[in-house]
């Protein structure tokens, strides 16, 4: 039986592109008593792998927490795999606001001590005594009550790009850090205030609401389904959004736009921006906010030091990061001294700018696929592509897109076809041209149509 991934992320991305089928990004969770998490994990992997389901899933004795990407045509079959288990019958699947075929590129199901690292001893309080669940309209109404305190139970890198108006946004990197901080900060409001809490998909509030009721808070409420479900409801029911900005998500997209408000800044130049990027230096991999201009100038790096490192031979890069643990740095945004405009814990109450509407959708409609990446020459910053369709000319506006690269637009200033300088290259040509960023083998080349 296959209980592991056999394809790399790049190979999986290529297969997804070639299949050309719509995929759905969704999340769900359930607290339940699971006697044998490892057996449960194996059963899920076998069932979901057969459906081409991908994602990051945690299972434990206390339940399941999943973020996934599923072919739309397999959604009904996927639901059937959940219905096998009593505790997941009729479970709500939170569908993403913006679907992305590359949101997840592997199926990873891990057995953990807990499905959310909350640092709590569940034996010391009744985890089933939860707060009152509120739908979007009810949540908005309670927000208007002057007797309400609203708390964001996400981490600083999540709340920085988007949050509810007037929310307390703790400057923390982990959920477990926020609980004692919030508890201490709100000690004087246990009896007479409404404690209104929210998170991304609702799972953190399930445990937090019970914890705060145990701590003596009388009026505890939580946003049902989190920001994801809130967004679905406000769109469906035409309700005003009290959430401003982006909802940070833990997949390739790193965010879903809820409103056009930009409430954060590029950490390098200070320009209004809410696009996260991971530092291209694999020995750093820091998550931070970076605008398009800085992304091009810094080549997806957080500092000049990291930019120098990515131009070293691969063997030297590997040698430099040998023994360095970078996994936990992925979401340590804003903690580097190299970032000059970090705003952790100091969030503006109003938008700094408005986002251009539906840029990604416009690009997806008005572009044509030309070919795929074959090589990237690091020192000379030259990309090599195989031109499979159409033609490309000097002066054309192009888009290079991939799961790690994201979507990068620029104008072609020079082309070499099969080693010779030219004005126009055609299908079948092996072309090279300079690019202001790093290109990967999973990247595709598109011409943007006017």
What is the spatial distance between Cα 87 and Cα 9, in angstroms, rounded to a whole number?
A: 32
DSSP string over 121-143:
-GGGS-TT-PPEEE-HHHHHHHH
Our CA angle for 203, 111, 62, nearest 5°, is 45
Look-up: residue for tokens 């800085």?
294
Closest among 90, 365, 91, 135 to 230, alpha carbons compared: 135
Distant-in-sequence, close-in-space partners of 136: CB < 8 Å, separation ≥ 6: 223, 229, 230, 233, 234, 237, 239
- Are the beta carbons of 248 and 154 closer than 8 angstroms? yes
- Are the beta carbons of 71 and 52 closer than 8 angstroms? yes
Closest among 142, 169, 145 to 349, alpha carbons compared: 169
Q: How far is Cα of residue 98 from the mean position of the Cα atoms in its chain? A: 11
What is the spatial distance between Cα 419 and Cα 356, in angstroms, rounded to a whole number?
A: 39
Task: Find the Cα–Cα–Cα–Cα dihedral 293, 295, 301, 304, rounded to 10°.
Answer: -20
The set of catalytic residues is 199
Our CA angle for 149, 152, 153, nearest 5°, is 120
Report the chain's terminal Cα–Cα distance, integer Å: 50
What is the spatial distance between Cα 218 and Cα 147, in angstroms, rounded to a whole number?
A: 13
What is the spatial distance between Cα 430 and Cα 197, in angstroms, rounded to a whole number?
A: 55
Distant-in-sequence, close-in-space partners of 434: CB < 8 Å, separation ≥ 6: 380, 381, 382, 383, 413, 414
DSSP letter at 425 equals: E
Neighbours of 429 (CB within 10 A): 20
- 208 phi and psi, to 5 degrees? -65, -40
What is the spatial distance between Cα 397 and Cα 408, in angstroms, rounded to a whole number?
A: 11
């Amino acid at each position: 039986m296959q209980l592991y991934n056999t394809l790399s992320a790049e190979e999986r991305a290529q297969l997804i592109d070639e299949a050309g089928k719509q995929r759905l990004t969704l999340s769900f969770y359930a607290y339940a008593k699971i006697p044998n998490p490892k057996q449960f994990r194996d059963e899920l992997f076998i069932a979901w792998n057969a459906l081409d389901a991908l994602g990051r899933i945690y299972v434990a004795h206390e339940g399941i927490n999943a973020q996934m990407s599923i072919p739309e045509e397999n959604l009904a079959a996927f639901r059937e795999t959940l219905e096998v288990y009593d505790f997941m019958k009729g479970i709500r699947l939170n569908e993403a606001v913006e679907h992305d075929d590359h949101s997840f590129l592997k199926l990873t199901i891990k057995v953990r001590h807990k499905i959310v690292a909350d640092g709590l001893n569940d034996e010391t309080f009744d985890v089933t005594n939860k707060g009152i669940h509120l739908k979007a309209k009810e949540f908005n109404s309670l927000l208007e009550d002057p007797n309400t305190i609203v708390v964001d139970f996400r981490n600083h890198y999540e709340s920085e790009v988007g949050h509810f108006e007037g929310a307390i946004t703790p400057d923390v990197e982990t959920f477990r850090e926020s609980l004692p901080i919030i508890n201490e900060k709100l000690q004087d409001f246990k009896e007479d205030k409404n404690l209104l809490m929210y998170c991304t998909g609702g799972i953190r509030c399930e445990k937090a609401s019970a914890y705060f009721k145990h701590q003596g808070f009388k009026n505890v409420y939580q946003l049902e389904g989190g920001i994801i479900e809130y967004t679905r409801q406000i769109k469906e029911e035409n309700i005003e959004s009290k959430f401003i900005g982006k909802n940070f998500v833990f997949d390739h997209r790193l965010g879903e736009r809820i409103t056009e408000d930009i409430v954060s800044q590029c950490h390098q130049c200070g320009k209004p921006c809410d696009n996260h990027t991971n530092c291209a230096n694999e020995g750093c991999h820091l998550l931070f906010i970076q605008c398009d201009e800085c992304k091009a100038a810094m080549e997806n790096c957080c500092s000049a030091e990291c930019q120098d490192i990515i131009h070293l031979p691969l063997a030297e890069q590997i040698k430099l990061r040998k023994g360095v643990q970078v996994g936990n740095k992925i979401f340590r945004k804003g903690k580097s001294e190299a970032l000059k405009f970090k705003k952790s814990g100091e969030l503006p109450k109003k938008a700094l700018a408005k986002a251009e509407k539906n840029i990604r959708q416009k690009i997806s409609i008005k572009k044509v696929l030309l070919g795929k990446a074959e090589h990237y020459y690091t020192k000379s910053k030259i990309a090599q592509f195989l031109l499979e369709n159409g033609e490309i000319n000097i002066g054309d506006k192009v888009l290079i897109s991939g799961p790690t690269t994201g979507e990068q637009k620029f104008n072609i200033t020079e082309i070499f076809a099969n080693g010779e300088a030219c004005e126009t290259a055609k299908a079948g040509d092996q072309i090279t041209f300079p690019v202001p960023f790093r290109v990967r083998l999973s990247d595709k080349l598109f011409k943007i149509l006017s």
